[in-house]
Structure 1
Amino acid sequence: MKRKDYHIYLDEQEYSQVIQSLVTLKNNLIAQGRYTDAVDDVLIKFTKARKKKITV
């Protein structure tokens, strides 16, 4: 089965909010003593994602 790719277009403020939300979620999971592997993976993928300038 072919993997589906998704594209998301964010401005600087939205990008910052997503990073902040992921870090907050990770901190909450750490405080609860739960695993943060999934959040770590998403955070790494999000920060390494290619940035493309588009005109709207």
Structure 2
Amino acid sequence: MREQKYHVYLTADEQSRVIQSLIRLKNELIEQGKYTDAVDDVLCKVVSAKKKRNFFI
């Protein structure tokens, strides 16, 4: 069975806030001695996501 994909479109400001929130969550998990694998995976996907270019003529 194929994994379902989701697309989220974020502005630069929204993307920055998501990254900051994920880093904060990762730090909290580290303090608690828990695994951060899932947060790391999502963080990598958000950081490496394609940027949409807006061309104005």
Structure 2 length normalisation: TM-score? 0.82
Alignment of 1:3 with 2:40, yes or no, is no
Identity score, percent: 58
1:23 has 2:31 as partner: no
Structure 1 runs (4+) deviating above 6 angstroms are none
RMSD across aligned C-alpha pairs, in angstroms? Answer: 1.6
Counterpart-to-counterpart distance in 1, 2:35 and 2:3: 26
The TM-score normalised by the length of structure 1 is: 0.84
Gaps of 5+ in 2: none
Greater C-alpha radius of gyration: 2
- Three-state SS of the structure 1 residue aligned to 2:35 is coil
Provide the aligned length of Structure 1 versus Structure 2.
55
